[in-house]
Structure 1
């Protein structure tokens, strides 16, 4: 999929999990608006995302979020060239809310419609940053979030080779589960990231799983090891800082080792980090220190789920002539390739 000279102005919608987001993106690079209604406080009481609650909340706020995105961009639906939405992967109920909203808008205004892969959206979040003019293929991209830990070789726009992924828990999922074990607030990733610098990363020797010649990941054993270590302490005397630091370093070591090995094997020009866990300070710093090539990542607002990244990905499909019919359905386990 090569770049063309055609311009685009896209209204994008993202409702794959627990953020209701709408954005207006121009030419796949410029964010005219990016509204995100988070449900973090709503799900904190459950210690994780409750799917039925998430979908109901999407229904309640999606009209207002879309309207706000258009107003902030100082435009209306008639100014849009295309309506794009996350089709999958994600929670089926949440996805349906966004897809049905996008279909309705596309039908009402007779606009082209595109269903976009959520993971591809994360990858294209880098095209919304100041690094965009420096990007040259091939690129190694690590998508690391609450639901995904995947390594892709990207040789051109829309051209991906899946090198490996998680065999069980995603890295972000492991952060949330360990955060819950440590009594930290949901989501666990930001809480552990904030707490870890106060602890010792060498206090506990947690396992680094699947450290072989492949590019797959595994974090369930690490979570279990932390759980077993916690049982050695009274709850009131739990060394939370040391446990958080040792756990986080174990995750980062595996992510960096696999990424560095793949980057060398495939001769890439740069490594791109995306997804919620790409906001982790230790991951960013370690990756930059240990890899002898540019390591890029989006600002925090574009790390978590947002509609701007869906608009950025949609641009490259739109300008190369792709159009989806309104009878497509959501695919909760949608694969990128």
Structure 2
């Protein structure tokens, strides 16, 4: 038999007293309710007392009660009891009504922030109030509507945080370009799309020439300025449909959808030229020699894998390096 642990909180204590009319007047669910008509029934409802950090509701449990907060405050935790609370309940608010109505396991942990007292409406008395009091039913509908709006706002906030974390995990912090993880995913999808549509696709692999000596002779801060300058030039040389990313270290990648080898050659030449002509602001009094890059390019072949396409462009890149740098090969 499944144990309904939430019928009584494990650390709560029964209080041998009845709820007062003054306390009922603070409860939002009883706003507009003729208390004289329900006070005798509510006097039979138990009151629980919770100390700080006592658990009122455990996420995933079966709940058969609605709890109305008479004193103190409660916090709602979605992920775990140790997670930051998503909201807090004050005197007059209630919790547990949704899981009581739909019979589903509870969706959150509810924990006492300080010494609390809650009035407990069991399932029978809850539905008796719904059927007997129009005002109680109306308040309940408003409460559920508000909870729905609050849940939608919470979901929206969670989605925004997820999108932020996704951007952080797929973006190179220094250059603002996407990173290798992002480009590998996008390139794989783009290759499948182009192969399905029988369209060409080309790839550029770019490496900054003698970048190690720049770091060694001028320092890593200057090296960072060079990386950002190269990223800026590449971004200005491509179309909105093209993809660019920092592949690792001083190596970058550009994906050119619907572009044949001749078009890739033109883009590679333009990038190489524009970087050569770029005056890099080092943010210091140091004068850098001209920054140059070597570029290898390749066009996707029939049924070729992403790994093989990248490897061919990388091979062309090292041919450019071996043939004197500041040039393109493909």
TM-score between the two structures when normalised by the length of structure 2: 0.22
Q: Relative CO higher for 1 or 2, CA cutoff 8 Å, sep ≥ 6?
A: 1
Compare CA radii of gyration and give the structure with the larger one. 2
TM-score between the two structures when normalised by the length of structure 1: 0.21
